[in-house]
């Protein structure tokens, strides 16, 4: 086997054999296939696709590149959730402690930012002292004591995916459905969770722009999970508009705490509860009431214990960007559009995301929204506030926001769309 022949096979729209897939994943993990060669293969996969058997074998090879976890010692049923990524998608932060407060164990292996979408680990690392890297034993200990853990996948868990995940972010291949599906499901299956709920985003701020592509991705992942004995269900949710009122690391942590305190934006609360109900149902905890756990403070209690268990201080002040710039409404009327991709790109340009896999992120950078579609706005009133430590980035971010919002005359008949678009099981 050699990397060039594998690349040529997929470049020429051929089907990769089981032997080719097993070899290239193993060789890349060992360093025998260079990043630039895997980049070429990833681009060929994005352009020419894979059939279901190829995806299944690719996923199995990713799993086989490392170890598999075992949660059998836990007394609670395990349930996990994964989002395909969006703008302002901070749902994991309130969801994990909420589901744990209802009796499940939530082993939430999360990632860092990919392109214009934020990463859960980047967000939580804005909390002073919090650490993403735990050993398997530490992860199990936190799960046992607290009921929820959010951490990075260990080096031994699907190491092939860890390398490929970072590479996709900087080579324009994040959107490849076979690579998204295999990346997510290899980690989740190797992680050993008993059930999994997928939040597949659809719209301008998501990697899947169309409902058709999102359904294909969801069905692919549900099939992979089911074939490996993991009860898997997917919700397709709207990402044409940012979720909540913030996009950026510390900004989103602050908003998540508001949700756990019984407040927060209505769309964040709606999706958190919908996913919680799916996770609890998949785990067999059908009598649990997540709305009650959110209202009575028990979810907040688990959040505080979870943050402390990973070295963080839940009472510490979160980082705040040194500079802000306010974008005002150019006219009065009803805000009828606010493009999620543009907002995510602006947050990325302000420092909330990374251009290279080794880049650091600014904890306080991001975009704060003062109105969502359907709201009445007044000319000159704040529409967005941009946050960064690097004021020379404002102009770059403002370019991304050019044409990002539309304002119509009052009475134009605007109505907001549904947040939850479909369910696939």
DSSP element (H, E) containing 228: none
Task: Please say if 116 is a catalytic residue.
Answer: no
Q: Of 112, 168, 231, 349, which residue is the catalytic one?
A: 168
Give the residue from 420, 103, 82 showing the smallest Cα distance to 283.
Answer: 103
Please provide residue 88's backbone torsions phi and psi, each rounded to the nearest 5 degrees: 80, 15
Distance between CA atoms of residues 3 and 23, nearest Å = 9
Q: Are 408 and 414 in contact (CB under 8 A)?
A: yes
| Pair of tokens at residue 258 | 């508001």
- Cβ-based burial of 51 (10 A; exposed 0-12, middle 13-18, buried ≥19): exposed
Task: Please say if 201 is a catalytic residue.
Answer: no
Give the residue from 184, 149, 179, 187 showing the smallest Cα distance to 69.
Answer: 187
Q: Of 65, 110, 183, 195, which residue is the catalytic one?
A: 183
Task: Please say if 161 is a catalytic residue.
Answer: yes
Q: Are 219 and 424 in contact (CB under 8 A)?
A: yes
Q: Are 264 and 258 in contact (CB under 8 A)?
A: yes
Q: Of 10, 81, 163, 187, which residue is the catalytic one?
A: 187
Q: Of 57, 82, 116, 349, which residue is the catalytic one?
A: 82
Task: Please say if 82 is a catalytic residue.
Answer: yes
Q: Are 58 and 19 in contact (CB under 8 A)?
A: no
Q: Which amino acids are annotated catalytic?
A: 82, 161, 168, 183, 187
């Amino acid at each position: 086997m050699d990397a060039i022949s594998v690349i040529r096979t997929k470049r020429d729209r051929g089907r990769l054999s089981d032997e080719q897939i097993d070899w290239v994943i193993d060789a890349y993990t060992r360093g025998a296939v260079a990043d630039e060669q895997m980049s070429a293969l990833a681009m060929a996969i994005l352009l020419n696709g894979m059939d279901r058997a190829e995806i299944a074998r690719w996923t199995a090879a990713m799993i086989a590149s490392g170890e598999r976890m075992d949660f059998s010692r836990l007394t609670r049923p395990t349930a996990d959730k994964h989002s395909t990524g969006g703008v302002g998608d901070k749902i994991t932060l309130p969801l994990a402690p909420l589901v744990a407060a209802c009796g499940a164990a939530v082993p939430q292996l999360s990632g860092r930012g990919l392109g214009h979408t934020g990463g859960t680990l980047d967000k939580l690392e804005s909390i002073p002292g919090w650490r993403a890297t735990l050993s398997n034993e530490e992860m199990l200990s936190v799960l046992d004591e607290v009921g929820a853990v959010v951490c990075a996948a260990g080096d031994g868990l699907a190491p092939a995916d860890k390398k490929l995940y970072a590479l996709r972010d900087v080579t324009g291949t994040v959107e490849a459905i076979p690579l998204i599906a295999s990346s997510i499901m290899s980690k989740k299956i190797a992680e050993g969770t008993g059930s999994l709920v997928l939040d597949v985003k659809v719209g301008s701020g998501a990697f899947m722009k169309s409902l058709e592509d999102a359904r294909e991705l969801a069905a692919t992942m549900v099939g992979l999970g089911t074939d490996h004995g993991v009860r898997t269900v997917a919700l397709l949710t709207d990402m044409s508009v940012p979720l909540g009122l913030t996009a950026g690391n510390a900004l989103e942590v602050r908003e998540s705490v508001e949700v756990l305190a019984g407040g927060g934006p209505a769309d964040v609360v709606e999706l958190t509860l919908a996913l919680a109900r799916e996770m609890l149902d998949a785990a067999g905890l059908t009598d649990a009431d997540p709305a009650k756990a959110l209202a009575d403070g028990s979810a907040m209690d688990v959040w505080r214990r979870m943050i402390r268990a990973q070295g963080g201080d839940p009472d510490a002040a979160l980082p705040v960007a040194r500079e802000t710039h306010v974008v005002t409404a150019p006219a009065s009327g009803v805000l009828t559009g606010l493009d999620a991709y543009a907002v995510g790109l602006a947050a990325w340009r302000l420092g909330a995301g990374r251009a290279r896999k080794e880049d650091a992120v600014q904890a306080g950078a991001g975009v704060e929204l003062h109105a969502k579609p359907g709201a009445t706005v007044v000319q000159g009133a704040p529409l967005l506030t941009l946050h960064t430590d690097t004021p020379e980035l404002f102009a770059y971010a403002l370019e991304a926001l050019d044409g990002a919002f539309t304002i119509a005359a009052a009475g134009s008949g605007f109505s907001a769309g549904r947040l939850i678009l479909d369910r696939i099981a």
